[in-house]
Amino acid sequence: FCAWSATAVGSLCAAGPLQGVRPGKGGPPAGGGGFLGGTLYFCFALVPLYLAYTAVLVDPEMTARLMAEDTQMILPTLITQYMPLPAQIFFFGALLSAIMSSASAALLAPAVSVTENVIKPFVPGMGDRLQLRVTRLAVVGFAGVVLVLALKSNATIFQMVEQAYSVTLVAAFAPLAFGLYWPRANRTGAIAAAVSGVTVWLALELYAPQGLWPPQLAGLLVSCAGMVAGSLLAGTPSRSVGRTIESRGGKA
């Protein structure tokens, strides 16, 4: 359940699905775009699952051996042993392209968000040139942090993706969902949700990873509670994100 919640629910806050929401002019087109984007994500995710399942039918012994050693090697081994050279070239070329495009988006999105929403408010009069330099430095900084974490981690690719989406699950999902559907959601609630969710998640990951409550689930629940409490204590309701999109004609 934790793996599903982290990857499925946490990925809703990623840049990819939201790109289907932003071009929509008004609420229904924006919602339809988000639903269509999520459906396409689901369909494309079934392709590697189908290919990996064919390995069980083609070579059960190889699949059983790699399941015990390293499950990440099932699909590459299937391609290298049973596919012709042109198919191997297409497969590994597409794999490299997907890795590079995902890495570029994953680095650029947080760098731009940090520059726009964290650094820029504290630097009045920041020009375009300075903002570009700060964004470039943020990209390099995020790349360095990710590289160090990847080199020091013994987790599989799936486990690292799960950990990455756990951050958006406990920090961004509650502000996004409540901002869309709860008119009283505001900035104070969003900050409280992000801080409380990340704090509880990190605390449980460090001190009680196998406890009664999974860290991701506990962080999500605390984040939702922080969103409600912070918004109510602020006392100044703000318009929901959905109404803001409608009033701006779909421009976020």
Structural domain spans, the chain: 156-252
Q: Cβ distance 20 to 34 under 8 Å?
A: yes
- The model carries a pTM of 0.66
Helix (H, G, I), strand (E, B) or coil at 24: coil
Q: What are phi and psi for residue 244, nearest 5 degrees?
A: -65, -40
Q: b/e string for 83-104 if b means 16 or more Cβ within 10 A?
A: eeeeeeeebeeeeeeeeeeeee
- Provide the residue count of the chain: 252
pLDDT value at residue 105: 75
pLDDT value at residue 245: 44
pLDDT value at residue 139: 92
pLDDT value at residue 251: 45
Q: Label residue 195 exposed, middle or buried (CB < 10 Å: 0-12, 13-18, 19+).
A: middle
Q: Which amino acid does the sequence have at 111? A: A
pLDDT value at residue 19: 59
The vertex-195 CA angle with 224 and 9, nearest 5°, equals 45
pLDDT value at residue 244: 47
Q: Which amino acid does the sequence have at 192? A: A
Rounded to 10 degrees, the C-alpha dihedral 39/168/94/153 comes to -140
DSSP state of 72: G
Q: pLDDT below 50 — which residues of the chain?
A: 239-246, 248-252
